[in-house]
Structure 1
């Protein structure tokens, strides 16, 4: 069983990708089947109509059900990953994600990227708190460092 939140998110992404591919396949097959019902040859149209009838009743519906199940499983894995992050101290707070910053480690990487790009030369901040505390000596520390537990380092595996 996978217990690492990163691996769970990766697996959830693979499930979503599979659902997307299945949906595309379903749409392409449906289009091809409909095209046979518009053929010039009446025999081909009759065969296409028979295939379309069965396709609409069985396969089309079943492929849609499978894609929905894959997406539901991905959503469940994401929820398990969030719970794992919260119980291990990797994520603090009671909401899923940080808005524009992203989810889980994505938020940390986003803040680092902004800090690397802007923070070093322009003194960027979020909510008035500097992204790189050492640049603005007079600026107060970010609230997450002064309230409750300090946010754990992201490269620690503990």
Structure 2
């Protein structure tokens, strides 16, 4: 059984969160070491400079490498989720800027939620087309009614 796209995205989000936490930790440690090396006490300042030298040459770059690896893995997981959606037919290729609707099946749910909340009773429309077209008198609504706008006939301009 292949992993579900939602699970892949959740794991990617966890990796990004871990990378962010690691980056913050790296920054806080670096700031603490800098404060230590600027101490008024000579012994503390010397110790801080020794720690700073080691930090700069070994630990700081290694933590950066780990954070980059986590972010790279998260990106790979996101790409795998998109690929899984495309192979199952839940997502088509195309304009990535439409991500505000959500990914995969989330987009359809989002459109329905917005249509229920706003609907034509508030006069809302997108590009001149109402979010909830009038289906009164139609035995079977046009499929586009479930998505928000009615598909124009081919004969019309």
TM-score strictly above 0.5: yes
Match of 1:55 in 2: 55
User: Structure 1-normalised TM-score?
Assistant: 0.78
Q: CA contact under 8 A between 2:36 and 2:48: conserved in structure 1?
A: yes
Give yes or no for contact 2:9–2:77 (8 Å, CA) kept in 1. yes
In the TM superposition, what is the alpha-carbon distance from 1:111 to its structure 2 partner?
2.0
User: Which residue is equivalent to 2:6?
Assistant: 6
Q: Would the alpha carbon gap of residues 76 and 119 (structure 1) be closer, same or farther in structure 2, given more than 3 Å must change?
A: same
Alignment of 1:22-61 (within 5 A): 22-61=22-61
| Match in the other structure for 1:67 | 67
TM-score (normalised: structure 2): 0.78
Q: Which runs of 5+ in 1 are unaligned?
A: 147-158
* Superposition deviation, residue 102 in structure 1: 3.5
- Alpha-carbon displacement from aligned partner over 1:56-79 (angstroms, at most 9, x marks no partner): 111000000000000000000000
1:113 counterpart = 2:113: yes
- Aligned Cα root-mean-square deviation (Å): 2.9
Give, in angstroms, the shift of residue 141 of structure 1.
Answer: 5.7
Asked if the contact 1:82–1:96 (Cα under 8 Å) also holds between the matched residues in 2, the reply is no
For this pair of structures, how many residues does the alignment match? 146
Gaps of 5+ in 2: 152-157
With 124-133 and 43-52 compared, the bigger mean Cα shift is at 124-133
SS at match of 1:90: coil
| Higher radius of gyration, 1 or 2 | 2
